[in-house]
Amino acid sequence: MRLRSTLPLGTLLLAVNACNSPRFTPPATPPRAAPVAATPAWVDNEEIPDGIAAVGIAQPNPMGDKGMQRTVAAADARTKLAGKLKVRVQNMFTQLNQQVTTAAAQTGEKPVRNDVMNRVIANVTRQLVDQELVGASTRYTWTDPVDGSLYLFMVMSKENVNVALASTAKTEIRKEIAQGQSALKPALPKVDKAVADSDYEEKLNANLDQLDPTKPAGSN
């Protein structure tokens, strides 16, 4: 005598379907992205209170030569520093020329000719760049983790630049006076103030937080 199943047909079908259906697998947690290194502040703002600075950049080379990449970045930084020194010389002689022109108008003397002033500016610029770039040093380096570019932060002491600028300017002015350019004589005692004024203007243009707005131009 056969035993009949006491389970309803619907219950049997559900049991069969449950056995044949795949097991539920929870979705995998996506892997965390590696944190991207923060870009140093000096990459976007190279102005510093204690010197003149520039950022040199070099792309990775096909050979993967890190030494060559650093050399290229350093050369780029030096070129940019040279440009800043030229601007500094121009600022200094703008201040000096204004002071000398004002003094000449008060005494009735002839102002300095433009060709003479331009010659002095060119000579001072060349000597200052050659002299100060020798003392430039690397303060920081950073490699972009995205594209491998190398950023190199090169600086020169502002104090050394000021001393060298004043000394070089005085030497060139004395040379011109010895060659008959007597109109430059009033410029000699005004060189130091012109250097200080150009330093103040440079800080003002860079909008440095360290600048004291109550400090008069040329004061120490």
More confident call, 145 vs 212: 145
| Domain-located, residue 219 | no
Q: Using alpha carbons only, what angle is made at residue 43 by residues 208 and 141, rounded to the nearest 5 degrees? A: 120
pLDDT at 178: 95
Asked if residue 211 has pLDDT above 50, the reply is no
Would residue 129 count as lying in a domain? Answer: yes
The CATH code of the domain that includes 191 is 3.10.129
Q: How many domains does the chain have?
A: 1
- Enclosing domain of residue 180: 39-206
Question: 90 near 124, Cβ under 8 Å?
Answer: no
Q: Per-residue confidence at 99, pLDDT binned at 50, 70, 90?
A: confident
Write out pLDDT tens, residues 148-183: 999 999 999 999 999 999 999 999 999 999 999 888
Residue 31 lies in a domain: no
CA distance 84 to 95: 17
Does residue 21 lie in a domain region? no
pLDDT over threshold 90, residue 29: no
Confidence category of residue 216, pLDDT binned at 50, 70, 90: very low
Residue 27 located in a structural domain: no
Could you tell me if residue 141 is inside a domain? yes
Neighbouring residues of 59: CB distance < 8 A, sequence distance ≥ 6: 69, 147, 148, 149
Q: Are strands 51-58 and 137-143 parallel, antiparallel or unpaired?
A: unpaired
Is 194 inside a domain boundary? yes
Average model confidence (pLDDT) for the chain? Answer: 81
Give me Rg for the CA atoms of the chain. 35
pTM: 0.72
